[in-house]
Amino acid sequence: MALPISTSYAPMDALLVAGIPTDSGVWQYEPKWDGFRCLAFRDGDTVDLQSKSGQPLGRYFPEVVETLLRLKAKRFVLDGELVVPEGGGLSFDALLQRIHPSASRIKKLSGLTPATFVLFDLLTDPTGKPMAEAPLAERRPALEAFAAKYLRNDGGIVLSPATTDVRTARKWFNGVGGALDGVIAKRLELPYRSGTRDGMVKVKKLRTADCVVGGFRYASKSKAIGSLLLGLYNESGLLDHVGFCSSFKAEERETLKKIVEPLIEPPGFTGQAPGGPSRWSTERSTEWQPRST
């Protein structure tokens, strides 16, 4: 009798660290792909895609759902990353565009910019056997066997490379940019620790920039300063929104309020303004105050 497929997994997350761990025989290394984390659940004729935050993704990536349904394996839970290949690399901007409210737009983009599902863990095998409690040293060979038996060569689903050789991991890290966002290291002896950062780390190349404050947001249900909106001037001399800063103490928020409120004046950002579609968008994304620059 087949076991029921669990849909209760929260993805195992990674702790950001400064350097690649090098303990021999302890770690498995993988590329960190520039995409959307995704869990894929299949039970017979039903496939569900789940985001890192637990939100459904299947509506936005129907081509991935169809590819998973074509697999001869009828039951599984897979962990991986949704990416959009473009020009020999990956396009995060094209991936962001896939999160769209219009069904007709989703259908069009699924053909123009089809996503690929990059696999890096197996949480339930095709027999319905739960694998999450097994150590990674067992789950990875099981995933490789799954890929060898079931994956097609159409590029819709691919197996992420993995190695225990730190020299290979360093080569990947030196090539960060375009397709790669960094390097992941996972402890071989540990099970899949759903919803935690225990036993999995990530290393990323950090970039710094001197930004202009082009506006701010008030905190939710408050008139305290919630975040400063950051911008960079583009080649045309227009100020584009590029991010935000929100790690302030209570007394710092009061000081900032006295500084920025007298400077409220449109337009703030003269190029790309806050509120565009992104994986962090909320109903408050378009609520912000412009600062004279």
Give me the active site residues, please: 32
Beta bridge partners of 180: 33, 177
Rounded distance between C-alpha atoms, residue 5 and residue 75, angstroms: 7
Which amino acid appears at position 209 of this protein? A
Contact present, 120 and 81 (Cβ < 8 Å): yes
Other Cβ atoms less than 10 A from the Cβ of 227: the count is: 20
Query: How far does the chain reach from its first CA to its final CA, in angstroms?
Result: 67
Rounded distance between C-alpha atoms, residue 40 and residue 78, angstroms: 5
Rounded distance between C-alpha atoms, residue 63 and residue 111, angstroms: 8
DSSP 63: H
DSSP character string of 188-252: TT----TT--TTEEEE--------EEEEEEEPTTSSSEEEEEEEEE-TTS-EEEEEEE----HHH
